[in-house]
Amino acid sequence: MRPAGRRPKWADLPCWPWTAPPGCLRMRTMIPILQTPLGTLFESDCTAVMRELPTSSVDLAFADPPFNLGKTYRSKIDDAKASEDYLQWCKIWLDEMIRLLRPGGSLFLWNLPKWNLPLGAHIGNKLTFRHWITVDIKYSLPISGRLYPSHYSLLYFVKGEKPNIFHPDRMPITCCRHCGGELKDYGGYKDKMNPSGVNLSDVWTDIPPVRHAKYKKRAANALDLKLMDRIVTMASDPGSVVLDPFGGSGTTYVAAELSGRRWIGSDLHCEDIVDRFDDLAGDREHLKLIRSNKNKLFTEADLARRLKSGKPLSKDYRLTPMVTCECPVDVGQTELRLKV
């Protein structure tokens, strides 16, 4: 375990997920605050870090920036910019993310709809639009004279005509949380349902806000591991390179690390992330639970509720045992060492 407050020395860092370009002296002198077998984290401005990375080196780029809501962060970042200043700032680091994407790479941007409208137009001039994903999470109190804000926007773009990697999860049938019965009647199509589950749509209603102390890793808002596991597994493979320039509580890095993806990240204040990586046992168990409830037609909990309430499952459904991929990784096969 790394002693609190100690920055790692160069000799402590056995690997690097990129090969530094020739003559890139600044890259060679940037010292990560955290190094894992698969990832590298810098406590620095995201744009400064990304400008030192080689073009076309990332398979998946995800960003969850501050939303400019006037919140107070321990990094002391200005979260109350004028609208035009905020948008201009976002465009600077977005352009770096776009540069870093490999052809066929995917970019996801998580923000409020208010900001993703203009930012999506900017990205759309350079990348191919795939989806506007609506994630149903209430994030404020009702506002007089307006509709109740109850969703986040997740934009999905790809560099080129189509993604190199695209294998979305399949979802279990939505069932009553009391009796386990289907909320939608599939009628005579039950025998045609894919045993691995229902197609994932662009409206996600199953992502919970992170409020429980068991999963909340910092005082500020954090992303749910279920969200990042879905994105990471959809748009990358084991050994792929994942970039998240706004580390926050480190959920992207945890999802990447535990599923065998290489990753690089940055944040102006990394203490929460470093502390989280000191012990990933809880996240590992959480991820195991998440993966046990996807890519199958019915969850074990819903089948148990049906049995208890006396609702036998139709014999028309085709069910197969679920196989969960834990994505074991041979670190020696995925490291790329920094040439000095």
Per-residue pLDDT of 129-141, as tens digits, reads: 999 999 998 766 7
Higher pLDDT, 8 or 125: 125
**pLDDT > 50? residue 293:** yes
**pLDDT > 80? residue 18:** no
The token pair at 73 is 């962060």
pLDDT digits 0-9 by tens, 110-121: 999 999 999 999
> What is residue 30's predicted lDDT score, i.e. its pLDDT?
79
> What is residue 70's predicted lDDT score, i.e. its pLDDT?
87
> What is residue 211's predicted lDDT score, i.e. its pLDDT?
53
Q: Where are the beta strands (DSSP E) in the chain?
A: 34-35, 39-43, 58-63, 101-111, 128-136, 151-158, 170-171, 198-199, 203-204, 241-244, 262-267
- pLDDT confidence bin for 276, thresholds 50/70/90: very high
DSSP code string of 277-298: HT--HHHHHHHHHHHTTSSSSS
Rounded-to-integer distance, Cα 265 and Cα 250, Å: 9
pLDDT digits 0-9 by tens, 55-77: 999 999 999 999 999 888 888 88
Rounded-to-integer distance, Cα 276 and Cα 247, Å: 12
> What is residue 29's predicted lDDT score, i.e. its pLDDT?
60
pLDDT digits 0-9 by tens, 182-230: 999 888 899 999 999 999 999 999 999 865 455 445 455 579 999 999 9
Residues 6 or more apart in contact with residue 293 via CB below 8 angstroms: 172, 299, 300, 301
Residues 6 or more apart in contact with residue 219 via CB below 8 angstroms: none
> What is residue 260's predicted lDDT score, i.e. its pLDDT?
98
Rounded mean pLDDT, 281-298: 96
DSSP code string of 23-39: T-HHHHHPPPSEE-SSE
> What is residue 324's predicted lDDT score, i.e. its pLDDT?
44
Overall fold of domain 17-165+211-292: Rossmann fold (3.40.50)
> What is residue 144's predicted lDDT score, i.e. its pLDDT?
85
> What is residue 205's predicted lDDT score, i.e. its pLDDT?
94
Rounded-to-integer distance, Cα 53 and Cα 96, Å: 9
Q: Is residue 338 classed as helix, strand or coil in its secondary structure?
A: coil
The token pair at 43 is 């406590």
> What is residue 325's predicted lDDT score, i.e. its pLDDT?
45
Check residue 200 and report its DSSP letter: P
Q: Please give the mean pLDDT across all residues of the chain.
A: 85
- pLDDT confidence bin for 12, thresholds 50/70/90: very low
Which pTM value belongs to this model?
Answer: 0.85
Closest CA to 107 of 96, 115, 118: 96
> What is residue 2's predicted lDDT score, i.e. its pLDDT?
44
For residues 8, 265, 46, 107, the Cα torsion angle rounded to the nearest 10 degrees is: 170
Rounded-to-integer distance, Cα 36 and Cα 165, Å: 24
Higher pLDDT, 212 or 42: 42
For residues 311, 317, 322, 325, the Cα torsion angle rounded to the nearest 10 degrees is: -130
> What is residue 334's predicted lDDT score, i.e. its pLDDT?
35
pLDDT digits 0-9 by tens, 139-194: 667 778 988 888 999 999 999 999 999 999 999 999 999 999 999 988 889 999 99
DSSP code string of 238-273: TT-EEEES--TTSHHHHHHHHTT-EEEEEES--HHH
